[in-house]
Copies of this chain bind each other. A is one copy, B any other.
Amino acid sequence: MNNQKNRVACINCNLRKLCLPSGLGSQDLAHIDEVIVVRRRLKRCETLFCTGDDFAMLYAIRRGFFKTSTALENGREQVTGFQMPGEILGLDGILDDHHTCTAVALQDAEVCFLPLDRIRALSPLVNGLQHHFHKIMSGEIVQEQGVMLMLGSMQSEERLAAFLVNLVGRLHTRGFSRTEVILQMTREEIGSYLGMKIETVSRIFTRLMEQGVVKVNQRHIHILDQVALIRRASQFEGARAS
C-alpha cells in the first residue's frame, strides 16, 4: 500500500523521533509506514484544511511551518497555534468529524496524510502506538493550557518573551540554533496568537531590543541574553516593583 512516489519511509525520516513513530522500536517502525497513505506538498499560504471541512485524517508535518486559526463571526481571525515539522495537525476534527480550525502553510511545506482509522487499525499490532498517540493528544492539551495561562495572566512583554522562548525551544529540539530564529509569521499573526495588536508586538520587540535582550531585524531574531528573556517570560516578579 506504500504507493507514493516521493515517499521517504518513516524509518528514514529524520523527524521520526518527534513525530508519530516516536518511541517505537525499529521493528514497529516498518509497520508504521502503512499509516501514511499519501504525502503532499503545499505552497506557502496554501490551506491544508478549513474550518467546517469534513474531518478526513490527521496530518504530520514533514517540512515547513503552519498556523492554525479560527474565524470569529465578525470576520476577524484568531491564530490558535504555530506548528512545525514533526507535529500533528487535525486533532480538533476528531470530536465531531468536522474541523474547527483552519490550517495554512506559512512556507512551502510537505505533510504526511495519516487516516485515523489506519492508526486505529494498526494500534493493536504495533506496540506502543496507541499509547504514543494518546500522548500526542495529551501534549496538545497541555500545550494549549500553557497558552491559556499566557493569555490569561501575563502582560504583553511576558507573552512575547514566552512565545520566543517556546519557539526557540521547539526549534532547538529539531536541531536549530537556540539563539537565532527567522520568524515565519507576520507581526499580525504573532499578535493574534498572543492576544495583542500588531503595534504592541512591534513596540515590545523594540523595547526588548533597547534592553539588549534580543536583536531584531525584520523577521530575523537574534537572542542576545537568553537568561533575561527567560526571566521575562516567567511571570512578573518585580514588574511593578515600586
Q: Which A residues have a C-beta under 8 Å from some C-beta of B?
A: 70, 72-74, 76, 78, 80, 91-96, 100-101, 116, 120, 123-124, 130-131, 134-135, 137-142, 144-145, 147-149, 151-153, 192-195, 234-238
Contact = CB atoms under 8 A, between A and B. Distances in A.
Report how many copies the assembly holds: 2
A213 B17 CA distance: 53
Contacts of A94: 134-135, 137-138
A95 B194 CA distance: 24
A193 B152 contact: yes
19 contacts: A70-B238, A73-B237, A74-B234, A76-B153, A78-B153, A91-B141, A94-B135, A94-B137, A95-B138, A95-B139, A96-B135, A100-B145, A120-B130, A140-B141, A144-B144, A144-B145, A148-B151, A151-B151, A153-B195
A95 B130 contact: no
Contacts of A141: 91-92, 95, 137, 140-141, 144
B152 A194 contact: yes
A140 B139 CA distance: 12
B237 A74 contact: yes
